[in-house]
Amino acid sequence: MAEPPMYPPYPNISIKILDHPLLESFRWDTSDQIILICRERSAEANGHLVALRDWPIERAQDFCAFGQWPLDYQTISINRHSGTVTFSAGHGGVAPLYLKVSGERIELSWSIADFYSGMTLPDVDTDRTGLRLVGTLPYATTTMFRCVFMLTERASLCISRTGAIETKYPPPAPYFIPTPLVDEADVAAAACRLIDTLLRRWPLTPALTASEFSGGLDSAVVAAILAGQHPDALQTYALEVEGPARSQQTSRREIAIEHFGFHDQTLRVDTVPMVPCGFEVSSDYVPAPYNADLQRPLHQLLKSLATASAPRAVATGTGGDELLMAHAFEQNHEQFARNISDAFLPAILPSAMTLVLKN
């Protein structure tokens, strides 16, 4: 019988723990295995399996396997003997983890833009990039770069010492079909109760939390419900839009601010150039695939907000049009051109390519 291959000890692991009041992390380390867990902190852990640092590693393995946690989480399991590394994600999909695989080296980040500086044109997957440019990139582990992968919700990625990658996707999530409403149904009240219950899953204290309040329906609902949980204590912020819509936005926000007692802060978007003229290394603009045009003014507003009151978490509302972006054939010409502008692409893509695609 052939002897199993003997691998050298697994290389050094460098991990930076994000110190944040809404996150908690755990690590188990034995001569055989390392397990790391990063998860959202729950406001009420009662009734749920709580990870403890003095657990034996077998219990940590069970926790990773069964995902008994109501909020989102990500786990890393490292086999010291085989060199296999397995990444798994919870059901939330809150902040997908990106992995760059280069031989025996694996780099991790919650932002794909962190990998731009080390990329070259041969790293670009032209098929995936083309799908991204027309708004039809599939929700999968593959990205615009051949060596970068995204850990999607409830999925796992197993990476061998040789760099071979095995992806395991979860079974389809259950879905519900609409049913007729009973006569006494109050849809608005039911929706508000649901959002209120969801927001109470995290320890969103007034000193910790600020809420975006643009003046639109989505963010207004979230801000109003948070204000009901913490009367006269909620910090809110907004970017003031340009053009004729500004007066409408201002009037709607003034009514709500007076009614709920928001501690509000704003910034006019036309005071900060949204996209710099060039993409020099010194620029503070990061051309990531899912960035909004308002990245630079929004960052300045959040920086100002953090300086004034030091919130560590922000709440916002997301509408169906943001969750389910229209396909290319469903968009008008102006919207389609805007979605594939250079502002959304890494600098390593030649300008001639983007010019052709835009025309």
Mind giving me the DSSP string for 178-208?
Answer: --PPPTT--HHHHHHHHHHHHHTTS---TTT
pLDDT tens figures, 26-49:
888 888 888 888 889 888 765 555
pLDDT(73) > 60: yes
Domain residue ranges of the chain, discontinuous segments joined by +: 23-168, 200-324
Decide: helix, strand or coil at residue 108: strand
What's the mean pLDDT in 186-212?
Answer: 90
| CATH topology agreement for domains 23-168 and 200-324 | no
Euclidean distance between CA atoms 93 and 150, whole angstroms: 11
Closest CA to 315 of 218, 244, 192: 218
pLDDT of residue 337: 66
- Window from 29-33, 153-157, 194-198, 338-342 with minimum mean pLDDT: 338-342
- Strand-pair partners of 168: 156
pTM of the predicted structure, to 2 decimals: 0.77
pLDDT of residue 66: 66
pLDDT of residue 65: 67
pLDDT(245) > 50: yes
Euclidean distance between CA atoms 202 and 71, whole angstroms: 9
Tokens 């980040």 found at: 109
User: 27 or 7, which is more confident?
Assistant: 27
In CATH, which of 3.60.20.10, 3.40.50.720, 3.40.640.10, 3.40.50.970 is domain 23-168? 3.60.20.10
pLDDT of residue 86: 93
pLDDT of residue 60: 77
pLDDT of residue 147: 93
pLDDT of residue 53: 67
pLDDT tens figures, 293-311:
788 888 888 888 887 677 8
pLDDT of residue 196: 94
pLDDT of residue 124: 92
User: 145 or 290, which is more confident?
Assistant: 145
What's the mean pLDDT in 261-285?
Answer: 76
Is 200-324 assigned to CATH 3.40.50.620? yes
pLDDT(104) > 80: no
Euclidean distance between CA atoms 108 and 117, whole angstroms: 14
Could you tell me which residues come within 8 angstroms of residue 304 by beta carbon, excluding any fewer than 6 positions away? 265, 267
Give how far Cα 240 sits from Cα of 145, 222, 253, 272, 308, Å.
36, 19, 10, 12, 19
- Window from 122-131, 159-168, 244-253, 321-330 with minimum mean pLDDT: 321-330
Percent over 90 (pLDDT), the chain:
24
User: 314 or 283, which is more confident?
Assistant: 314
pLDDT of residue 156: 92
pLDDT(200) > 60: yes
pLDDT tens figures, 346-359:
555 444 444 444 44
pLDDT tens figures, 148-182:
999 988 899 999 888 889 999 988 777 777 778 88
Phi/psi of residue 235, each to 5°?
Answer: -85, 135
Q: What is the DSSP string of 283-329?
A: -S----TT--TTHHHHHHHHHHHHHHH--SEEE----HHHHSPPPGG
- Window from 128-132, 146-150, 297-301, 340-344 with minimum mean pLDDT: 340-344
